[in-house]
Amino acid sequence: MSTPVLQAPGRAPQKVGAGLLDPRQMIKSLPDAIKKLNPATLWRNPVMFIVEIGALFTTVLAAADPSFFAWAIVVWLWLTVVFANLAEAVAEGRGKAQAATLRAAKRDTTARRLNSRTSLDWDVVGAPELRQGDFVVVEAGEIIPGDGDVVEGIASVDESAITGESAPVIRESGGDRSAVTGGTRVLSDQIVVQITQKPGESFIDRMIALVEG
């Protein structure tokens, strides 16, 4: 007797993602995989470059002395090269999509920048406009706009978008639990964060560069 799967009311059952084997992603990446067959591009991957040379040489031999075994080897070698390029193209496509998502998240995030640490007046600015030394106030439900240190308050922070850990962490002023990362979400209370990053050197910027590389 099977055990029923409990679902939250009003929520549709979730489907498991296909990951790298998503047919739509593979079809979309197929033209890039074909372009990678160009030896001028493929030489950067020495293993597949040698396999492609072997496939070309084997094709010539199979055409000169055709046999079932020879053409089977030819097909196998060319499939190896094509699917290797396809896997690389899919990975590059997913990386570009993730980098675009990170850029959009950074571009669309706003911050309440205080005129000074002790000031109660603040201006709404975009996260890319923040500079090292700025003070921002972040409340429950808001995204921390940049890397920095908590200088006032204590809050529970969801860092799953950065670390993958679902359990929230406590961040407070002083001590070794004051550092916060841009892109994480405050779950409770209110904190004042002093931005410590320089423009273009935040954790998200480094993550975008890593994903694109």
Domain CATH for 186:
2.70.150.10
Q: In which band, very low, low, confident or very high, does the pLDDT at 150 lie, cut at 50, 70 and 90?
A: very high
Q: Are residues 123 and 174 in the same domain?
A: yes
Highest averaged pLDDT of the listed ranges 106-115, 143-152, 158-167, 192-201 = 143-152
Q: Which range marks the domain in which residue 49 is found?
A: 19-106
Q: Are residues 79 and 121 in the same domain?
A: no
Amino acid at 170: I
Top pLDDT among 169 and 15 is at 169
Does residue 88 belong to any structural domain of this protein?
yes
Structural domain tally of the chain?
A: 2
Per-residue model confidence (pLDDT) at position 213: 66
C-alpha Rg value of the chain to the nearest Å: 26
Per-residue model confidence (pLDDT) at position 1: 41
Q: Are residues 153 and 88 in the same domain?
A: no
Top pLDDT among 183 and 30 is at 183
Q: Are residues 101 and 155 in the same domain?
A: no
Q: Are residues 164 and 115 in the same domain?
A: yes
Does residue 11 belong to any structural domain of this protein?
no
Does residue 14 belong to any structural domain of this protein?
no
Does residue 5 belong to any structural domain of this protein?
no
Does residue 7 belong to any structural domain of this protein?
no
Q: Are residues 79 and 152 in the same domain?
A: no
Q: Are residues 125 and 179 in the same domain?
A: yes
* Virtual torsion, Cα 128, 132, 137, 138, nearest 10 deg: 60
Q: Are residues 193 and 132 in the same domain?
A: yes
Helix axes 203-212, 68-108, angle to 10 degrees: 160
Per-residue model confidence (pLDDT) at position 137: 92
Residue 5 in this model has a pLDDT that exceeds 70:
no
Top pLDDT among 124 and 36 is at 124
Does residue 9 belong to any structural domain of this protein?
no
Q: In which band, very low, low, confident or very high, does the pLDDT at 9 lie, cut at 50, 70 and 90?
A: very low
Which residues is 76 bridged to in the sheet? none
Per-residue model confidence (pLDDT) at position 72: 92
Q: Are residues 159 and 101 in the same domain?
A: no
Q: Are residues 65 and 39 in the same domain?
A: yes
Q: Are residues 117 and 90 in the same domain?
A: no
